[in-house]
Chain A
């Protein structure tokens, strides 16, 4: 569809399974799962007590600048880290700093930032609890004591677009930008939107990043009550599956035009071939059983990339482990690929559902898998589900049938995204 190719010149990631797409892939290939009892609060008596936390979470490992820690949340640390790693891998800042002043200014204006954010959390609102206790339900008292009782920076810590703003300041990226707060599709969408900006000539390169840390008590409880979370196991496409489980993390990639990558001799790790997106108009939680949105998103992506279904060498499915999502996703894969589906896998069994970060982090790991020539197995998978028939998943590794991966991503509001990437 477009004349110029969009290259991937760097990736970055962090989640419970490790730091960096390679380390995460190592864990997945070794059959290791980061899903474990939640340590962030005492879950005694909780119906769901498992999630994939980032182990030994240390803000300074993720973001060196200590002053910043007071102004941002856990999710922002994760996002800034992932994007910073991708930018470092791509050598973007090193190159910019080698330019003379006016060329550097142009370079900054031509560098975009596209962020997919979880959008907000419940915990930050508890910062008002001490004041509410003091005010005893009296709003007038609440108002009088407000400025004495609550951190003046509260709103800034709460902004859903913090990663965008702070990445800009930290790396002096000043081009086209957005912050997408569209639940689980947000991360995948940042790739689609960044690529669209490059294709349209609005920027020469962009960092796309998704980040989320949904593991907080109120969030876990709501998802569980809605029937979306399992109590302890996430079993994609397995007949025993009962729901998803949360993880936390961030994934990022630097996308670049061919001309920009060539001009600065950038490392080239892959290519973005195309993307697709469709909504099923079912409301916040409901989805269709026939996978219609997935079908349309995947077909659009193939169209956008100028590829046929048979060109796809592996599928990284959304595979969130809920009965309905996996079954409808399987239906969609059957519809698009018939009886000739390439090997299918999914990663959430290993590091949980990263919500806004899911699609893009999984795309970075898919790229690493292609490079390694493997379709990692779903180590926990053992019992085929007739509802998921025709989807060639396996507990052990398979081999990609080409150098192209399809990444499927689904989110609230019955939204569906598909990305096609190639390893180079």
Chain B
């Protein structure tokens, strides 16, 4: 019963370190024009990591919301509102009073946090000794400012997206670290499938390029310290890789029930065909060397999509450029695809745009939709000396012109959540019309 409702991707939007829209981002991903550079958002000169993939030239006033609403946004929310608006405009459909209840919204949201500036205000006023003096909070301007609270809440982004675009159906925010964006797309897929909604605005947003955000990863030694060669710092599957590059941004997609999308003559980028999730239950930050966990997520996603490993032409890897992830992911991919593994073009677009954390899975879902729509596979930049343990058919040098029947995107998070989503070429769907 559920499986009869197919889901179409009819709109896409992106704000990334390599472009504030879909076209610019896509061009960069094809050529590997890196978004990584010295950090400009704060004085990082004393930090062991002084590079990041920042969103560039993005102006708050470009976000098309009332000034009053803008005050309720943090940096990542503004990325979200911009990318969501792009996706709705691209789809040519948006919630109306008579359809609002049939629209759902699922977002992968970044971690709840106040900005460094606000934290510093509270430190200076109420924690100057190095410890919070709760009594001083009572007269602390930041701690008494409802706007600071509103910007920092975990569901603030969801509140902004649903209220700005008038979404009145199921609305949810998930956070499974780097798997968040992928899980949000999977959640939206299932909401449409099970009839809870006919339309979805789904995506992810994050911005951790801040003193506290970057500190968290620095303390875990998770980031590349190649401060002198930023554009080469993110090099998934390369033998010399030494950590990921922190990025920021947002990706959103408009999803619609397939038949309705066809009826209105919508341009369909791809079918969002399957979603698979597993929990590694291994260690909080490590992935199992044998790929256990990601294997089950990929298999579940393919089964959910009714696709066989042999149908897959493109894999957008999680590919963080950490020693452990890339080896573990390779092991998982080899286990899932077996002898056919060399038929799958693989790239990690984090090589170009860095790791967008809670937004990564959503942005990379958009990338897969584009790979199908444009018959072109983006490159895995900076792969010079391939790690022999990362033996996959990785797209290097130039983007590949190839027809993509099925594309899949992996996203694995701290905490052990593994998300895999499957996208299918619309022509493949129509070819199988009798079954569908």
Contact = CB atoms under 8 A, between A and B. Distances in A.
Contacts of B130: 129-130, 132-134
Contacts of A151: 219
Interface-centre pick from A43, A121, A133, A199 (highest chain B CB count, 10 A) = A133
A239 to B, nearest CB: 27
Contact of A177 (B44, B120, B176, B196): B176
Interface string A172-209: 11111111111101000100010010011010000000
Interface string B192-228: 0110100000000000000110011111100000000
B163 A283 contact: yes
B174 A178 contact: yes
Given A46-B138, A175-B279, A179-B415, A281 B146 contact: no
B324 interface: no
Nearest to A122: B114
B352 interface: no
B177 A161 contact: yes
Interface string B252-295: 00000000000000000000000001111111110000000100
Interface stretch (A247-255, A399-407, A410-418): A410-418
A28 B220 CA distance: 45
Contacts of A300: 196
Interface-centre pick from B111, B130, B156, B171 (highest chain A CB count, 10 A) = B171
Interface string A306-350: 000000000000000000000000000000000000000000000
A44 interface: yes
Interface in A108-143: 108-109, 113, 117-123, 125-126, 128-130, 132-134, 137, 139-143
A211 interface: no
A133 B138 contact: no
B137 interface: yes
Interface stretch (B17-25, B86-94, B121-129, B308-316): B121-129
B89 to A, nearest CB: 19
B60 interface: no
A125 B176 contact: no
Interface stretch (A9-17, A87-95, A220-228, A358-366): A220-228
B119 A125 contact: yes
Interface string A17-55: 000000000000000000000000111111000000000
Contact of A126 (B131, B175, B193, B279): B131
Interface stretch (B147-155, B369-377, B396-404, B423-431): B147-155
A44 B138 CA distance: 11
A280 interface: yes
B434 interface: no
Interface stretch (B45-53, B336-344, B384-392): B45-53
A146 B129 CA distance: 17
A283 B159 contact: yes
A355 B46 CA distance: 39
B114 A140 contact: no
B120 to A, nearest CB: 7
Contact of B46 (A139, A152, A160, A193): A139
Given A120-B154, A133-B130, A161-B417, A222 B143 contact: yes
Nearest to B109: A181
Given A155-B216, A277-B196, A296 B101 contact: yes
Contacts of B281: 108, 168-169, 172-174
Interface residues of B, number: 93
B58 interface: no
A169 B416 CA distance: 9
A140 B45 contact: yes
B154 A183 contact: yes
Contacts of A118: 154
Contact of A133 (B128, B135, B187, B194): B128
A5 interface: no
Interface-centre pick from B196, B218, B281 (highest chain A CB count, 10 A) = B281
Nearest to A217: B134
A222 B172 CA distance: 23
B185 interface: no
A137 B175 CA distance: 31
A139 B44 contact: yes
Contact of A413 (B143, B162, B279): B162
A158 interface: yes
Given A118-B154, A130-B130, A174-B293, A281 B163 contact: yes
Contact of A279 (B114, B154, B168): B168
A237 B284 CA distance: 44
B155 A146 contact: no
A144 interface: yes
A121 B59 CA distance: 29
Contacts of B138: 45-46, 221
A120 B112 contact: yes
Contacts of B174: 178-182
A104 to B, nearest CB: 13
Given A189-B172, A277-B196, A159 B414 contact: yes
Contacts of B43: 139-140, 143
A162 B194 CA distance: 29
3 smallest A-B Cβ distances: which pairs?
Answer: A119-B154, A143-B46, A120-B112
17 contacts: A71-B284, A119-B112, A125-B113, A128-B212, A132-B119, A139-B46, A146-B48, A155-B216, A155-B414, A161-B413, A162-B284, A165-B416, A169-B281, A173-B279, A176-B277, A179-B175, A182-B171
Interface of A: 41-46, 71, 108-109, 113, 117-123, 125-126, 128-130, 132-134, 137, 139-147, 150-156, 158-162, 164-166, 168-169, 172-183, 185, 189, 193, 196, 199-200, 202, 217-218, 221-222, 225-226, 277-285, 293, 296, 300, 411-415
Interface of B: 2, 42-48, 72, 100-101, 105, 109, 111-114, 119-120, 122-124, 127-132, 134-135, 137-138, 143-144, 146, 148-150, 152-156, 158-160, 162-163, 165-177, 183, 187, 190, 193-194, 196, 211-212, 215-220, 277-285, 293, 296, 300, 304, 413-417
Given A143-B47, A178-B176, 8 more contacts: A119-B109, A133-B123, A143-B43, A143-B44, A180-B174, A277-B196, A279-B171, A281-B166
